[in-house]
């Protein structure tokens, strides 16, 4: 009889993946299905194949490593990429087995939240601004986080408002966050 932990891992209602140094060592079928792969296609692969770009893989990795130091935990909502190239919103939660070495060994959950989040064609910078807006950060806070001016943040916000056909910032944030108005 299979071990109960293996059965739970394989049949979890969310995507589960065990990684070592951001390489996939094991994933469940829900994770593989979400990204359009077979489990065996993902084993041994870098998580980078699931990101919109290598720049975002590295940037999110730096943020994640900083946030995981000490607690070993990480969470966010981000845009990921399916095998087909389609981009989608994903809720990600992670737990490192060793908080001092966050990526050495970690367990992650991935949930497709694209039904709740509209996805407009966005540049990498617009995705960064959108994510921070959805977290409730001000233009000044976003500017500090991204190393750009508050005016540049406002330009990106204006572009996002046009792309999402939002009448004001509240409506934009609600659409980005997937909150019906």
Is residue 63 scored above 60 in pLDDT?
yes
pLDDT for residue 149 is more than 50 = yes
CB-based contact 95:72 (threshold 8 Å): yes
Domain extent for 78: 4-112
| Least confident range of 1-5, 102-106, 159-163, 168-172 | 1-5
Q: At what angle do helices 169-177 and 150-163 cross, to 10 degrees?
A: 70
In percent, how much of the chain has pLDDT > 90?
60
What is the rounded average pLDDT of the residues 129-152?
90
The structure's pTM equals 0.70
User: Is the residue at 78 inside a domain?
Assistant: yes
Instruction: Tell me which of 91, 112, 133 is where a domain ends.
Output: 112
Measured between alpha carbons, how far is 30 from 14 in angstroms, rounded to an integer? Answer: 6
Query: What band does 119 get if pLDDT is binned at 50, 70 and 90?
Result: low
Residues 90 and 134 in one domain: no
Q: Report d(CA 174, CA 49) in Å as an integer.
A: 29
Q: What is the CATH number of the domain that holds 90?
A: 3.30.450.20
Q: Mean pLDDT, to the nearest integer, of 102-110?
A: 96
């Amino acid at each position: 009889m299979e071990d109960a932990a293996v059965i739970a891992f394989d049949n979890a209602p969310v995507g589960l993946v065990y990684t070592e140094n951001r390489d996939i060592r094991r994933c469940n079928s829900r994770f593989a299905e979400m990204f359009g792969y077979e489990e065996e296609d993902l084993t041994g692969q870098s998580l980078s194949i699931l990101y919109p770009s290598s720049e975002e893989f590295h940037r999110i990795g730096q943020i994640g490593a900083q946030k995981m130091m000490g607690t070993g935990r990480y969470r966010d909502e981000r845009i990921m990429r399916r095998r087909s190239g389609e981009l989608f919103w994903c809720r990600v939660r992670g737990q490192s087995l060793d908080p001092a070495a966050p990526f050495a060994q970690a367990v992650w959950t991935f949930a497709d939240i694209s039904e709740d989040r509209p996805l407009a064609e966005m540049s990498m910078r617009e995705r960064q601004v959108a994510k921070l807006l959805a977290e409730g950060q001000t233009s000044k806070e976003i500017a500090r986080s991204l190393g750009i001016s508050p005016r540049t943040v406002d330009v990106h916000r204006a572009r996002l408002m046009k792309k999402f056909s939002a009448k004001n910032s509240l409506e934009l944030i609600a659409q980005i966050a997937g909150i019906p108005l």
